[in-house]
Amino acid sequence: MKEVKIRDIEVINTAPEGINLTVVKVLTTEPELYGLGCATFAYRHEAVTKYILTYLKPLMVGRAVNTIEENWALMHQNAYWRNGGIENNAIAGVDLALWDIKGKMANMPVYELLGGAVRKAVPVYRHVDGSSVEEIVDQVQYYQSLGVKHLRIQSGGYGGGLDLKAPKTAPVGALDGIYLNSREYIRKTVDLFDKLRAKLGFEMDFVHDVHERISPAEALVLAKALEPYQLFFLEDPLPLDQTEYFKLLRAQTSTPIAEGELFNNPKEWRDLISQRLIDFIRVHITQVGGLTPARKLAILAGEFGVRTAWHGPGDMSPVAHAANIHLDLASPNFGVQEWSGIEPPNFVIQELSHQKGALLEVFDGLPEFKDGFVYPNERPGFGVLINEKAALKYPCKTEVTTWTQTRNRDGSLVLP
């Protein structure tokens, strides 16, 4: 069999929904054979692009496309210092593109290469956020009508903070930012779930995202207080530099815990999984380097009874969303999939194939949401195509990121 090699690597940056997306296109020595991968780091897209074109492209051109394990290891260790958002997302773009190519060469969807599907479709959770219980109840009932059985419930963003200016209660001269009041946030969150369960019962599975914005001691208070409301999981209650605190959290609360959105390095999740300190692993698969490490992580988690709930935000291209779905289909220990950001904004959700919008103008072959589940399109590879001419109509922007400028009441910075 003729060996197929990498002929070129291109980067396509586009923002059809106003969110910077980075897609990697790996071209091969076989005419018309190429693969697409996601390298999206929305807030540092120019750095990722530079990394791919300046460092990974010269390293990888001329190498075989089928030796994915070898190629991933080479990209990972070539810079000597390893792990981190820029490098891992860049590597993920090439890695996912190689899996896409392998699926096309085999004439199979990627999930078939992972051992085949153990389910026909993937149950997902959607996002609900409102300023009142009534507004949130209306959204919950809307999603119920669409067959969704899991919902993430927030009120006023993460940590309840929305102010972009220093409030009057802050010290004189305090800098602008999103100001948080953790104790008020905890009280309001518990009250919210109390009222939601009273109005809606326990049929729906609810998720809540702390986003690491409270102290470890406060996280324990919140997790214990939410026990009567039977959350499906409480997401990211602790920052990654305080993971030792999970031993206390596990010992004192029955609320299921999901963690890992910011993880980069296997050392960050290995102990949490092997000691069964979390219930769901929630990494962003491009942030850990792509499908190659993510499938190993899924297998590791399954050995210890930890389920997957991969990160699926708006700042992730449809290629990465598709990669999530293919991994979900083939993972026995799958839990639930976050599903957001891949439909045009402010539209009424129906079958994706019937929708129009900027994102669907740029990308074709998105997995399809229907009756609470997401289905792959069954094309070879990940099945997602990109219209490069349309992508040019929606250029990325380089701006100062504001939502991560979160502050305590005294004006000091707190993790976002």
Torsion of CA 146, 126, 332, 109, to 10 degrees: 80
Q: What is the pLDDT of residue 1?
A: 64
Q: How confident is the model at residue 344 (pLDDT cuts 50, 70, 90)?
A: very low
Range scoring the smallest mean pLDDT among 114-123, 178-187, 353-362, 368-377: 353-362
Residue that is written with structure tokens 């009508």 in the block: 145
pLDDT higher than threshold 90 for residue 160: no
pLDDT higher than threshold 60 for residue 341: no
pLDDT higher than threshold 70 for residue 356: no
Type of residue numbered 67: T
Q: How confident is the model at residue 352 (pLDDT cuts 50, 70, 90)?
A: very low
Instruction: Pick the closest to residue 398 from 48, 22, 13, 45 (CA basis).
Output: 45
Backbone angles phi, psi at 353, to 5 degrees: -65, -15
Do 59 and 42 lie in a common domain?
A: yes
Does the predicted model carry a pTM greater than 0.95? no
User: What is the Cα 303 distance to its own chain's centre?
Assistant: 23
Q: How confident is the model at residue 165 (pLDDT cuts 50, 70, 90)?
A: confident
Q: How confident is the model at residue 167 (pLDDT cuts 50, 70, 90)?
A: confident
**Looking at residue 155, what DSSP letter applies?**
S
Domain-embedded: residue 1: no
pLDDT higher than threshold 80 for residue 292: yes
Instruction: Calculate the alpha carbon distances from 87 to 77, 78, 80, 202, 323 in Å.
Output: 10, 11, 11, 43, 19
Q: What is the pLDDT of residue 307?
A: 98
Domain-embedded: residue 393: no
Which of 109, 132, 163 corresponds to the end of one domain?
Answer: 109
At 24 the three-state DSSP class reads: strand
The token pair at 125 is 């959770």
Q: What is the pLDDT of residue 163?
A: 63
- How many distinct structural domains can be found in the chain? 2
Q: How confident is the model at residue 161 (pLDDT cuts 50, 70, 90)?
A: low
Do 126 and 68 lie in a common domain?
A: no
Q: What is the pLDDT of residue 317?
A: 95
Query: What CATH number does the domain containing 62 carry?
Result: 3.30.390.10
Say if residues 171 and 411 touch (Cβ distance below 8 Å): yes
Interval 342-364 mean pLDDT: 59
Interval 91-111 mean pLDDT: 98
Domain-embedded: residue 78: yes
Do 163 and 312 lie in a common domain?
A: yes
Q: What is the pLDDT of residue 335?
A: 98
In percent, the amount of the chain with pLDDT more than 70 equals: 95
Do 185 and 326 lie in a common domain?
A: yes
pLDDT higher than threshold 70 for residue 242: yes
- Top pLDDT among 409 and 396 is at 396
pLDDT higher than threshold 50 for residue 405: yes
User: Would you tell me how many other CB atoms lie within 10 Å of the CB of residue 246?
Assistant: 21
Say if residues 186 and 194 touch (Cβ distance below 8 Å): no
Do 361 and 239 lie in a common domain?
A: yes
Q: What is the pLDDT of residue 414?
A: 87
Q: What is the pLDDT of residue 204?
A: 96
The token pair at 58 is 């010269």
What is the average pLDDT value for the chain, to the nearest integer? 92
Instruction: Pick the closest to residue 259 from 242, 275, 240, 245 (CA basis).
Output: 240
Do 300 and 223 lie in a common domain?
A: yes
Do 41 and 120 lie in a common domain?
A: no
Which of 86, 109, 132 corresponds to the end of one domain?
Answer: 109
**Looking at residue 121, what DSSP letter applies?**
S
Do 147 and 244 lie in a common domain?
A: yes
Which of 59, 89, 109 corresponds to the end of one domain?
Answer: 109
Residue that is written with structure tokens 């129009």 in the block: 356
Say if residues 229 and 193 touch (Cβ distance below 8 Å): yes
Interval 384-403 mean pLDDT: 94
Do 84 and 11 lie in a common domain?
A: yes
Instruction: State which residues form the domain around 51.
Output: 6-109
Say if residues 306 and 298 touch (Cβ distance below 8 Å): no
Please give the Cα distance from 290 to 26 (Å, whole number): 15
Torsion of CA 95, 100, 104, 108, to 10 degrees: 110
Domain-embedded: residue 46: yes
Helix (H) or strand (E) holding 93: helix 85-106
Interval 213-221 mean pLDDT: 94
Q: What is the pLDDT of residue 342?
A: 59
**Nearest 5 degrees, angle CA 341-CA 386-CA 323?**
55
Q: Which positions are catalytic?
A: 158, 211
Interval 26-49 mean pLDDT: 97
Please give the Cα distance from 113 to 380 (Å, whole number): 10
Residue 364, beta-bridge partner list? 385
Q: Which tens digit of pLDDT belongs to each residue from 61-96?
A: 999 999 999 999 999 999 999 999 999 999 999 999
Q: What is the pLDDT of residue 169?
A: 81
Please give the Cα distance from 16 to 394 (Å, whole number): 5
